[in-house]
Amino acid sequence: MAMELLYFNNAKMNTWIIYFFPFAFDIIIGISLFASRHALAEQGMGTRTVGSIVAIYGIGYIAANLFMGKIIRPAYARGQMLVGVAAVIIILIVLANTKQVRLIQIFFCGIPLAGSLFFNAFQSFMLGVDNTIAKPLTRTIAHYTFAWSLGFAIGPFLSSFLKSAISWPASYYAAAITAASIGLVALLFKPSIRQIRESVKPSPPVMQKKASLSVSGWIGVLIGWTGWNMLVTYWPVHAQLLGFKIGIKGLVEFSFAITQALTGLFLARMTPAYYMRKNFAIITIFGIGGALLFSAGIGFFVVGAVLFGIYSGNFLCNMMFHASVDPEKAVKRIAINELCIGISFLCAPVLATLIKMATGNFAASYVCLAVFLLLGAAAQFIAARRTLAALPLS
């Protein structure tokens, strides 16, 4: 009886509970990434050490996703989510009680491992449950992006507040409490097994062919998410050099993520946009503008973060849409989605450090990032053109 405590026949209530998972888990990720990077910057660490946190996150994500598509099963998704939650609680408690850089780096690698397990299992779980209320795929993707991005926005905001009021360890304990609440809800929430078994239906043939645009979606994320993580590799060190208070540091990262969340929500009814090649160029303009505003210096960081949030909300929804449009291939494609995100985390600090060493200053590094985004948009456009040209007219 206890296991059915959070089972509701009301589809809307089920949906609210399901989207609680990515919202809450990304509060954890937002807190841990923000606290670890900015705490190291406050200790006087440079771009290489601060960026190592992002790179380590990527290593863990890649390692997990090399086999994640093979171990995730919809029937066991809830249990796999719980394993991920338990692991991250232990790691957060350790991080709250150490200031040693090497120890932080070692244990931080476990967060993406647990996070990858959770997110792959959750998205498999969502395919079964959320489809039962027959929402269009674009709305499902948009609401999911809104949920996790909102959590990703609250993480830095909450962490900066707790640092100002208490200390950095308080951020990690808050994240651990959030993880415990996720585990409790996941344990008690019991969707209909019959609904899950009946929910996976073949997509129309044309839609399955269009799903091959997932290649363009992956290119967009590899470029765009790498770009954002280059920014957040620079930002803690740059903000520290400028003497910004922790509240300003958190506001910039909050502005990015909350804009990403709202952009995802805006795209709920925009299915045709996912197949328009010109949108790749239009969307990238926001990312390029955001990077250039970071190079402009004091007074433009928040606006730059907002523009980059519009850009990221688009390329993330695009990736998820094309990966999920064919349910029969969705689990493997979702694993590739997560792999692309992991690669972006890994590559970003390496590229950021190399560019910073070559340019010698942050302003020029942000300009180089803008050029990188432009080249990525061109590659994305070419890939989409080739894919669409190969499809028969319907």
Per-residue pLDDT tens digits for 355-368 = 999 998 889 999 99
Q: Concatenate the DSSP letters of all residues of 317-362 into one string.
A: HHHHHHHHSSHHHHHHHHHHHHHHHHHHHHHHHHHHHHHHHHH-SH
Ramachandran region, residue 383 (left: φ > 0; alpha: ψ -120 to 50; beta: rest): alpha
- The answer to whether residue 202 scores a pLDDT higher than 60 is no
Domains observed in the chain: 2-390 (1.20.1250.20)
Task: Give the list of residues 6+ apart from residue 360 with CB closer than 8 angstroms, or none.
Answer: none
- The answer to whether residue 180 scores a pLDDT higher than 90 is yes
Entry pTM: 0.80
* Helix (H) or strand (E) segment spanning residue 381: helix 362-390
Asked whether the beta carbons of 347 and 117 are under 8 A apart, the reply is no
- Integer Rg of the chain from CA: 20
Strands (E), the chain: none
pLDDT for the residue 172: 93
**Crossing angle of the two packed helices 137-165 and 168-188, in degrees rounded to 10:** 140
Q: pLDDT-based confidence at 1, cuts 50/70/90?
A: very low
Asked whether the beta carbons of 97 and 148 are under 8 A apart, the reply is no
- The answer to whether residue 134 scores a pLDDT higher than 80 is no
CA atoms within 13 A on the CB side of 179: 28
- The answer to whether residue 276 scores a pLDDT higher than 70 is no
pLDDT for the residue 64: 78
Asked whether the beta carbons of 2 and 188 are under 8 A apart, the reply is yes
- CA distance to 129, 133, 268, per residue, from 13 (Å): 12, 11, 19
Write down the residue that tokens 């498999």 correspond to. Answer: 124
CA 351, CA 226: separation in Å to the nearest integer? Answer: 9
The closest of 373, 375, 367, 230 to 315, measured between CA atoms, is: 373
